[in-house]
Structure 1
Amino acid sequence: MSEVSVLGYIKEQPERLRYVFDHKDVFIQPFLEAIKNKKKILFFGSGTSYNVSLLATYYFKHLCHMDAQAYYPNVFQYYEQPDWSNTLQKEDILFVGISQSGTSVSTCEVMEFARNHGYSTLALTGNLDSKICEFVDTKVHLLVGDELLPPETKGYTVSVLTVYLWAAALAELNNDKEVDDFISQFQTVIDESEDWYERNKVTIVNSSCLYAMGYGIDYATAIEAQLKIGEMLRLPIVGYEMVEYSHGPTMALNPKHTLFMIGSDEVEWNQMLTYRKAFQHYTDRVHVITCKECEHDERDLVFSVKTNKYLAPLMYTIPFQFVAAKGAKDIGIDTAINPFEIALAHYDE
């Protein structure tokens, strides 16, 4: 059992991911039943759950060749439609709301909207008695266990593994051994991430601004990094799509800026290496995080654990969790306390 702290939950992840994988039928079977005969899937969530939704759309489009979209719930409800082409029937579309607590106001509202308009609805939540379950046809248990503090760390990785296994099952990948082997090495991911933070912490926590850059599948990882570091370390940070960062924001670069570049196994890999070299002319605080072999130094984290680009986001988020949680601890922030006391985003739990 982990200690009740963000760091405790971070370090629990190898054990928790093993539990999720070993009990995958609990959440795969009801999902496969709900998705049967559907042509489109819409994912909704806020905060961490939105970032998971982005990854989910990548999985379903690239692995299952299925139309998939992710939305912030309120943006969808006010400005979007399930099918702008008007070629699909309501029974062709599945609405999926992701909420670890099940109390996210905007996600509950969009699921209620969907159900009231005759669409199939599914909730992925850690609490099957929560508010969101009042508005769905199918309740799927997120096997995260307890996470009693506001920043969601193991909640993110458990959610990512869950939606990946959904897509893998629908696509009939039959890659259980690959996933099993990867999870078996997750303690190494934790250890290497913590070691990387310790050798770079002085410059990271003394930065005037931080940028997390991702491309392809790991744009979602970049904005999850933005969220976690903003929640806990509370320094200015922006998550960017890597190429978009070069269109203007580079003009603000200075030696006290820290850049994290997520080296995904996508077509932009060589472009990322070129960008790194260019950025190093303006700041030496440039860190590449990857499992692909490349020229690197102590600033970089090249994981010894190797996996495919679909599973890699699970480990690429871990170093950012340490930056957020250990960084906060190192500068005297108590991550167990939410300094923003006005309730806006969640129903009372």
Structure 2
Amino acid sequence: MTTVEGPQPGAHMAAEIAEQPAVLAALRERRSEIAGVAEAIAKHPPRFALLAARGSSDHAALYAKYLIEVLLGLPAGLVSPSTVTLYGAAPDLRDVLLVTVSQSGGSPDLVEFTEAARKQGARTVAVSNTPSSPLSAAAELAVDIGAGQEQAVAATKTYSATLLALYLLIDAVRGGKGADADGLGELAQQTLDRSAAGVQRAVDRYRFVNRVITAGRGYSYATALEASLKLAETSYLAARAYSGADLLHGPVAAIDGETAVLALTNRGKGGDAMRDVLDAVSGRGADVLAIGSAAADVPAALRIEVPPVAEELAPILDVLPAQSLALGLSLARGGDPDRPRGLNKVTKTR
């Protein structure tokens, strides 16, 4: 009798992590398509921007919030879809830009909110990995991140591609040509290759840890949130993410020698602002893993250095070793990150 075995645990997640350099390079080559959407936005400059998303896409939306406020000088906020879907609110959204971010484009609450926002006068843009999705149909404009089908439940290539798509879109709205993203695919490959040994050391060190804090400032706060989610959903760790500033406003009191801290620290203003944070958590005995282009310059037990890029692009590279760490820890702890318990690829909420 022949036994047909399925894929090894984590095979899909590992393959999709490895695909990211090619996905990012291909997306950079499609900048002109995204620039067309940006041109339509720029013709009617919005008063402010709103972003709607769930899960990993919510972290990408937070990244976009920083981009919009810093690069475009516009106020931006993350919406609560339930104000419309559950409570029936009808806010005045004339001259407002709504960017809805969803890898699947199938979440009913995001689709409903986008439809309602469009009726209320918003210029609506869908950023999705599924061009034929209900979300893309609901929005006036759409950006296809083009990451290809993702089989692992934990988002990896769709997340990094969403970040780059949002950067290219927002950069193009301000008249940029995406020059800082040139060669990003190659840098992503370097990041994966050069971080492999450091990731394995981190897996060995944190295999039995129960409590993890992730932290970052500025653009990197989104990576802290995404890293926390990946550790929680693949390894079932009690992981919490904080802005470095918020960490010092109370939660630092709970940090001790039993706490692992994954810190995102890069060259730039956000990374500079993390130095006091890391001094504080190191002083409380925390075991710090520093990831980023400035990892060598901060107090840490382990460091994973990432190639330097423009600060606003650093989250695209920094998340790669964080994803690999989540994969490695899940496998080391006897799990299968491709099939986290209780989770599905598409989560439908209202």
Q: TM-score range by the shorter chain?
A: 0.7 to 0.9
> Structure 2 residue aligned with 1:114, among 113, 117, 133?
117
Deviates more, 1:74-83 or 1:134-143: 74-83
Alpha-carbon distance, 1:47 to partner: 0.7
> Structure 1 residue aligned with 2:251, among 249, 252, 271?
249
C-alpha distance in 2 between matches for 1:256 and 1:79: 46
C-alpha distance in 2 between matches for 1:249 and 1:242: 10
1:121 maps to a residue whose letter is T
Instruction: Give the direction of change, closer, same or farther, for the CA distance of 1:265–1:74 in structure 2 (3 Å limit).
Output: farther
> Structure 2 residue aligned with 1:334, among 336, 344, 350?
336
Report Cα offsets for 1:31-88 as digits up to 9, x if no partner.
42144213222211101111111111111221122232222432576598756xxxxx
C-alpha distance in 1 between matches for 2:88 and 2:250: 28
> Structure 2 residue aligned with 1:279, among 276, 281, 285?
281
> Is 1:22 the equivalent of 2:29?
yes
Q: Paired residue for 2:202?
A: 200
Q: Paired residue for 1:160?
A: 163
Q: Is the 8 A contact 2:13 2:338 kept in 1?
A: yes
Instruction: Give the direction of change, closer, same or farther, for the CA distance of 1:335–1:72 in structure 2 (3 Å limit).
Output: farther
Deviates more, 1:118-127 or 1:320-329: 118-127
Alpha-carbon distance, 1:244 to partner: 1.4
Instruction: Give the direction of change, closer, same or farther, for the CA distance of 1:227–1:120 in structure 2 (3 Å limit).
Output: same
1:169-184 alignment, distance < 5 Å: 169-176=172-179, 178-184=180-186
2:260 maps to a residue whose letter is T
Instruction: Give the direction of change, closer, same or farther, for the CA distance of 1:80–1:153 in structure 2 (3 Å limit).
Output: farther
Alpha-carbon distance, 1:264 to partner: 3.5
Q: Paired residue for 2:228?
A: 226
Which of structures 1 and 2 has the larger relative contact order (alpha carbons within 8 angstroms, sep 6+)?
A: 2
C-alpha distance in 1 between matches for 2:20 and 2:239: 25
> Structure 2 residue aligned with 1:50, among 54, 58, 71?
58
C-alpha distance in 1 between matches for 2:195 and 2:99: 32
C-alpha distance in 2 between matches for 1:68 and 1:341: 31
C-alpha distance in 2 between matches for 1:344 and 1:120: 26
Q: Is the 8 A contact 1:46 1:72 kept in 2?
A: no
1:41-80 alignment, distance < 5 Å: 41-74=49-82, 78=87
C-alpha distance in 1 between matches for 2:37 and 2:30: 13
Q: Paired residue for 1:319?
A: 321
C-alpha distance in 2 between matches for 1:64 and 1:342: 36
Give the paired residue count: 337
2:39 maps to a residue whose letter is L
1:27 maps to a residue whose letter is I
Alpha-carbon distance, 1:339 to partner: 1.9
1:238 maps to a residue whose letter is R
C-alpha distance in 2 between matches for 1:95 and 1:295: 38
Instruction: Give the direction of change, closer, same or farther, for the CA distance of 1:159–1:150 in structure 2 (3 Å limit).
Output: same
Instruction: Give the direction of change, closer, same or farther, for the CA distance of 1:27–1:63 in structure 2 (3 Å limit).
Output: same
Alpha-carbon distance, 1:248 to partner: 2.2
Report Cα offsets for 1:321-344 as digits up to 9, x if no partner.
012111111111112224216899
- TM-score normalised by structure 1 residue count: 0.88
Q: Secondary structure at the match of 1:185?
A: helix
Q: Paired residue for 1:139?
A: 142
Alpha-carbon distance, 1:169 to partner: 1.2
Superposed CA RMSD: 2.5
Q: Is the 8 A contact 1:50 1:72 kept in 2?
A: no
C-alpha distance in 1 between matches for 2:343 and 2:269: 44
Instruction: Give the direction of change, closer, same or farther, for the CA distance of 1:59–1:123 in structure 2 (3 Å limit).
Output: same
1:5 maps to a residue whose letter is H
Deviates more, 1:321-330 or 1:280-289: 280-289
Alpha-carbon distance, 1:282 to partner: 3.3
Deviates more, 1:26-35 or 1:53-62: 26-35
1:19 maps to a residue whose letter is A
Q: Is the 8 A contact 1:219 1:240 kept in 2?
A: yes
Report Cα offsets for 1:135-155 as digits up to 9, x if no partner.
222232221111122211111
> Is 1:6 the equivalent of 2:13?
yes
Calculate percent identity across the aligned residue pairs: 23
1:70 maps to a residue whose letter is L
Alpha-carbon distance, 1:156 to partner: 0.8
Where does structure 2 lack aligned partners over 5 or more consecutive residues? 1-9
Q: Is the 8 A contact 1:260 1:287 kept in 2?
A: yes
Where does structure 1 lack aligned partners over 5 or more consecutive residues? 84-88
> Structure 1 residue aligned with 2:108, among 92, 105, 108?
105
Q: Paired residue for 1:301?
A: 304
Alpha-carbon distance, 1:93 to partner: 1.4
Q: Secondary structure at the match of 1:173?
A: coil
- TM-score normalised by structure 2 residue count: 0.87
